[in-house]
Amino acid sequence: MSLLEPFSRPRWQHRDPAVRLAAVDELEDPATLLEVLQADEDAAVRSRALSRIDAPAALDRLIDETPAWLGGALLQQARSQRLRQLLPDHGVLPPGADDGLLVRITTLADDAALIEAAIGRIESPRLRMDLATSHSLARARLCAAQSIDDIELLQSLMQQSRHRDKSVFRHCRERLDAHLAAQRSAEDRQQRLARLAEDAAALRAAVDAPESRASC
């Protein structure tokens, strides 16, 4: 290595992590920031480089494709950064958020109250079904399952969650058992009413019979 080489390299490649950390704050090129994020040996420098990446598409690629060099803490940081972009109003759900945005929020958030609020506003039962089967958090899967009222979807969800998610499976079974019990109760009530109607008709017929009138 020549004596001039340390002076010819950019500051973000300096031997001193403190110099590299300060240099990252001056970087604007997304490709260079990604290079620092991937290659730098210092965790603080990598975290600073990630904090400088603000393109939603770039963050989405890091989150969804999750390269092997993106560790747990950095991945969580990327998720938090992207979530702040989607929730600029201090974590409050946007009033006009569509289902796609709400689903994305549930996949990025780790706050149970925020996830439940987002799921509660998702209109599509099919999307709530997908969350009930695929969300990484057990509490979110159960919350999504609890928001489903369609009996056929509950039956399908119960089959899919069997041996995979005890809480979701138990919830679906309880809901379906309650539905069947309500059906049986309604059928029994209809049968009792039908028998009462038959008995009343028979009584009227007996009262109106000639023999009955003759004996009066």
Tens digit of each residue's pLDDT (9 = 90 or more) over 111-153: 999 999 999 999 999 999 999 999 999 999 999 999 999 999 9
What's the pTM value of the predicted model, to 2 decimals?
0.76
pLDDT band (50, 70, 90) for residue 201: confident
Distance CA 7, CA 108 (A): 42
Q: What is the pLDDT of residue 122?
A: 96
pLDDT band (50, 70, 90) for residue 14: very high
Q: What is the pLDDT of residue 184?
A: 83
Q: What is the pLDDT of residue 4?
A: 47
CA dihedral 182, 188, 190, 196 (to 10 degrees): -150
CA-wise closest residue to 121 among 88, 89, 143: 143
